[in-house]
Amino acid sequence: MSFRLAGIAGGCGAGVALVAGLGGCNLVAGLNDYEVGTGSGASTASQSTSSSTGGGGGSGGGCGSPVVVPVDANADVKSLAPNQNGGGDQTFSVHLVGGASVVHALFRASGLSEAALGKNRAELCVQHASPAAGVGTGVVSAYELSQPWNEDEVTWNVAAGGVSWTLPGGDYEATPHDGVFINGQAQAETEKCWDVTAYAEKVAGASATDHGVILVPTGTNFTAVFFSDDATTVVRPVFKLWTCP
């Protein structure tokens, strides 16, 4: 599966290499050195539309090989299809056109809470799938979700089991953890990452409080396509964790 996200730009991070026959960037270099975490993990507060700039490459700068925790729940929610669940779609998106058509992307990893213990750097990383489907540029910000949601039930209006979001589109903290400039036509397999260290430190060892992360676009008109539950596992969304000096 791939997902569409409103706009993401350039550059591969550390631990990312070219794959023969695929082109672009792929999260394979050093993969045998990665650990895969297991475990599970929420927050409080309200929806916000503000964003900050920064983030983007998945480097972990000088911190060695990361622990890689696969995202095992992700979905999109659409303002123009407010009762549609995107958890099982072959593609999903974060998208923004003039504020009227908006799509957010939600991510959660059941292994994050346990794997984050003792770590002091964390990133949510995704990889571009189709530059041909991309449009425009903008900033996409990562916020901590503040309400539980179910991948198979979540919509623009509903979080899980008939329980509505307080505000349509998802309930999340007022301040973003990171914002990344997006070029919707970036090369396939280009990786982009958001610094979510404060979120990972908060949920470490406290899985009951881990509701995941939502990506929210700002701008006027942009779209980018990213891999999600693709058959090639190394291009799927992941959380990366480091213990840095």
Position 57 scores a pLDDT of 53
Position 73 scores a pLDDT of 92
Sites in the chain below the pLDDT cut of 70: 1-61, 88-92, 94, 231
| Segment 142-192, tens digit of pLDDT | 999 999 999 999 999 999 988 999 999 999 999 999 999 988 888 888 899
CB-based contacts of 21, cutoff 8 Å, min separation 6: none
- DSSP secondary structure of 195-235: E-HHHHHHHTT-GGG---EEEEEESSEEEEEEESS-SSGGG
Position 233 scores a pLDDT of 81
Residue 115 phi, psi dihedral angles, 5° rounding: -65, -25
Position 138 scores a pLDDT of 84
Position 175 scores a pLDDT of 96
Position 187 scores a pLDDT of 81
Give the predicted TM-score (pTM) of the model.
0.76
Position 225 scores a pLDDT of 79
Position 66 scores a pLDDT of 96
Position 211 scores a pLDDT of 96
Position 220 scores a pLDDT of 76
The answer to whether 146 touches 172, Cβ cutoff 8 Å, is yes
